[in-house]
């Protein structure tokens, strides 16, 4: 099998550097209390609730493995699972933490142009804001009582209604301008989406301006805000407004404040509260929650006290709990947001309000308790809370929630605890049962495990005369197909350790130890066993066909010839096949 090698050598070297530089036991010990156990370390699994340690980290193999819930993988896989990150974001996080320079290769064709277009527009919008053309915008912000210092700090600008594109057209192609997401084409002409709007630039975590939000200066104009669409450099579900400026303060304070709007962020910052961010007009996402988790231990949601604000806060609960994060919440008085509250009542009263924070899950339970007016409704609500509790892995936090919810709903804590624990156990048994079939064909596992220890050109030669039909186990078949795809795409085999579909299965396989044996020789032996098993299956098929076509002499002769060749090859293979 000839594979195209399109992935850059630089990327492969960078991945290898991460795997060699990061001590998996040292990294995981930041999240799990690990104790030495022979050549490994063990502790309570962070991915399911347990009282007896079944979570093992093996530095020699650079792997973790939980014998309770089945979670397994390498350090990148742990970072992905614990922080709910995709593969690239997990790499970036580890690189940042261990001072490894990370540059993602194969940027989109117009990436550099789009970055430069945003830079030019940022300069232009700020120049206009402080000119006569921007008087309307600067007066609007003055009425909102924002100082010049905060406006400069957040680089607020203005795009005039009559926007002249000529300075951009001289530098960039029409294709690049359209790729930026800031323009649209109508009647063969380009038009700017943000014309006549206040400009709020949005930076990514590296400090690049990657998008704009445009605010109408007249509240009667709808929509009030328009944001850049998803482009090659911007996905709002993965970013938080002001994250680039706030992350230093978050690390220092150990806490992040999450508010709902751009002006809320600006007002908090003006009041000296620097560790503040906001989503950009959408529901809170896992990517955003994981981003916060990189920089702080606690998150405080400061949302409006109206129905919409409460719904937005409670919607984010599942997102946080899935990444083992338990945020707190403060709901402002109705008709107030941080901007209006601080402006009207001052910073000291705002900080006083924040001191009355509540755990988001407990607040959610209290809110639901108002609807538990009958026994049937109470049971239904408790069932909803039970499903959330089953997602929580921290046993101490879970204990606190059992206690709090039992008091809120006036139920027996022990009964409620047993119900939740029984449901959790049933789920774990169901999950582990689905993995038993994997053990049926050991030769398939051993063959696949060897591939991860060999150079890619050797792997190519081993796979050259194989196909998916040689594998009986569905998981092994799936892994084989993914390996073929990865090699054909020029990627690195080890990215599969972090594949959501087969990553944990591969990690289980790699726990196998072949001792001093050469992995190539082990692979050859097991490949022969694969061929032997496959021919046995074909032999049975041919015998069945012989019975069906026993009255057809031509077909019978053809089948007998084929069967004879199979039996001959089976005989030759038998002496060299490794017993497994």
Average pLDDT of the chain to the nearest whole number:
85
* pLDDT value, residue 94: 84
pLDDT at 106: 56
Task: List Cβ neighbours of 368 (8 Å cut-off, separation of 6 or more).
Answer: 381, 384, 385
Q: What is the pLDDT of residue 580?
A: 40
Nearest CA to 144 among 12, 339, 367? 339
* pLDDT of 441: 62
3-state secondary structure at position 346: coil
- Write down the pLDDT at residue 579: 44
**Which of 94-98, 156-160, 191-195, 276-280 has the weakest average pLDDT?**
94-98
What share of the chain has pLDDT > 90, as a percent? 42
The span from the CA of 48 to the CA of 385, in Å, is 17
> What letters, b where the CB count within 10 A reaches 16 and e where it falls short, cover 425-449?
eeeeeeeeeeeeebeebebbbbbbb
Cβ atoms of residues 477 and 534 within 8 Å:
no
pLDDT single digits (tens) 102-154:
665 556 678 889 999 999 999 999 999 999 999 999 999 999 999 999 999 99
178 against 51, higher pLDDT = 178
> Given a cut of 70, is residue 427 above it in pLDDT?
no
Instruction: Write down the pLDDT at residue 455.
Output: 77
The candidate with the shortest Cα–Cα distance to 506, out of 495, 494, 517, 497, is 497
Instruction: Pick the more confident residue, 173 or 446.
Output: 173
**pLDDT value for 534:** 84
pLDDT of 578 > 50? The answer is no
Domains of the chain with bracketed CATH: 9-97 (3.90.580.10), 111-232 (3.90.980.10), 238-364 (3.40.1360.10), 371-433 (no CATH), 437-574 (1.10.860.10)
Indicate if the pLDDT at residue 174 is higher than 50.
Answer: yes
DSSP letter (8 states) at residue 466: -
The model's pLDDT over 439-463, given as tens digits with 9 standing for 90+, comes to: 446 788 888 888 887 877 788 888 8
* C-alpha to C-alpha distance for 554 and 272, rounded to whole angstroms: 91
pLDDT per residue over 224-234, tens digit each? Answer: 999 999 998 99
In this predicted model, what pLDDT tens digit does every residue of 558-577 receive, in sequence order? 878 888 888 878 877 776 65
pLDDT tens-digit map of 200-223: 999 998 789 999 999 999 988 889
Output the pLDDT for position 14: 66
Asked whether residue 43 carries a pLDDT value surpassing 80, the answer given is: yes
For residue 330, give both structure tokens.
Answer: 């403060």
For 508-559, what is each residue's pLDDT tens digit? 777 665 555 678 888 888 888 888 888 888 888 888 887 888 778 788 788 7
pLDDT tens profile 371-408: 999 999 999 999 999 988 888 877 788 899 999 999 99
Please say whether the beta carbons of 229 and 260 come within 8 A: no
* pLDDT for res 151: 97
Question: Which residues pair with residue 63 across a beta bridge?
Answer: 58
pLDDT of residue 528: 86
Residues near 87 by beta carbon (within 8 Å), at least 6 away in sequence: 76, 80, 495, 498
Cβ distance 240 to 281 under 8 Å? no
1 pLDDT band (50/70/90 cuts)? very low
For the chain, percent of residues with pLDDT exceeding 70: 90
Average pLDDT, stretch 171-176? 94
Lowest mean pLDDT among 62-76, 102-116, 311-325, 473-487: 102-116
Task: Name residue, tokens 């409620």.
Answer: 416
Is-contact 33 41, C-beta < 8 A? no
- Name the nearest CA neighbour of 71 among 441, 397, 500, 426: 500
Of the candidates 3, 8, 5, 11, the residue with the CA atom closest to the CA atom of residue 87: 11
- pLDDT for the residue numbered 434: 45
Contacts of 179 (CB under 8 A, 6+ apart): 108, 110, 113, 114, 231, 232
pLDDT value, residue 104: 56
């Amino acid at each position: 099998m000839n594979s195209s090698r399109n992935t850059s050598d630089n990327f492969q070297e960078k991945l290898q550097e991460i795997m060699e530089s990061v001590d998996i036991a040292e990294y995981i010990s930041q999240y799990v209390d690990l104790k030495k156990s022979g050549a490994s370390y063990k502790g309570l699994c962070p991915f399911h609730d347990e009282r007896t340690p079944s979570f093992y980290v093996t530095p020699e193999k650079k792997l973790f493995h939980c014998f309770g819930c089945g979670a397994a993988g390498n350090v990148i896989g742990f970072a992905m699972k614990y922080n709910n990150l995709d593969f690239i974001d997990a790499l970036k996080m580890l690189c940042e933490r261990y001072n490894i320079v990370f540059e993602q290769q194969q940027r989109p064709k117009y990436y550099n142009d789009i970055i430069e277009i945003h830079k030019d527009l940022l300069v232009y919008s700020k120049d206009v804001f402080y000119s006569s053309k921007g008087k309307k915008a600067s007066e609007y912000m003055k009425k909102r009582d924002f100082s010049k210092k905060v406006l400069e700090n957040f680089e607020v600008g203005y795009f005039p209604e009559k926007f002249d594109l000529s300075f951009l057209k001289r530098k960039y192609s029409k294709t690049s301008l359209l790729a930026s997401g800031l323009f649209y084409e109508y009647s063969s002409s380009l038009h700017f989406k943000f014309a006549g709007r206040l400009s709020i630039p949005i930076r990514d975590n590296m400090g690049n301006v990657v998008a704009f939000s445009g605010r109408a200066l007249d509240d009667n104009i709808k929509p009030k805000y328009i944001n850049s669409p998803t482009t090659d450099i911007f996905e709002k579900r993965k970013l938080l407004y002001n994250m680039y400026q706030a992350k230093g303060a978050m690390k220092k304070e150990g806490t992040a404040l999450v508010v709902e709007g751009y002006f809320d962020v600006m007002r908090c910052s003006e009041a000296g509260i620097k560790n503040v961010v906001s989503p950009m007009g959408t529901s809170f996402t896992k990517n955003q929650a994981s981003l916060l988790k990189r920089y702080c231990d606690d998150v405080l949601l400061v949302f409006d006290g109206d129905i919409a604000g409460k719904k937005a806060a409670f919607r984010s609960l599942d997102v946080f709990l899935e990444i083992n994060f338990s945020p707190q919440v403060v709901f402002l008085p109705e008709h107030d947001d941080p901007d209006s509250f601080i402006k009207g009542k001052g910073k000291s009263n705002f900080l006083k309000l924040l001191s009355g924070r509540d755990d988001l899950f407990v607040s959610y339970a209290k809110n639901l308790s108002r609807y538990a007016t009958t026994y049937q409704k109470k049971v239904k609500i408790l069932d909803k809370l039970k499903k959330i509790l089953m997602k929580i892995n921290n046993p101490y936090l879970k204990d606190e929630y059992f206690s709090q919810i039992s008091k809120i709903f006036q139920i027996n804590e022990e009964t409620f605890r047993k119900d939740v624990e029984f449901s959790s156990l049933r789920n774990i048994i169901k999950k582990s049962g689905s993995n038993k079939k994997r053990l049926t064909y050991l030769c398939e596992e051993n063959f696949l495990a060897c591939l991860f220890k060999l150079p890619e050109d050797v792997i190519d030669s081993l796979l050259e005369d194989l196909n998916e039909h040689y594998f009986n186990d569905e998981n092994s078949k799936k892994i084989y197909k993914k390996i073929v795809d990865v090699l054909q795409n020029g990627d690195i085999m080890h990215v599969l350790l972090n594949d959501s579909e087969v990553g944990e299965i591969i990690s289980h396989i790699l726990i196998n130890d072949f001792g001093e044996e050469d992995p190539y020789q082990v692979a050859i032996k097991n490949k022969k066993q694969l061929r032997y098993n496959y021919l046995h299956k074909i032999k049975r098929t041919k015998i069945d066909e012989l019975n069906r076509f026993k009255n057809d002499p031509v077909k019978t002769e053809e089948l007998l010839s084929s069967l004879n060749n199979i039996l001959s090859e089976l005989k030759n293979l038998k002496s060299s096949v490794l017993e497994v």
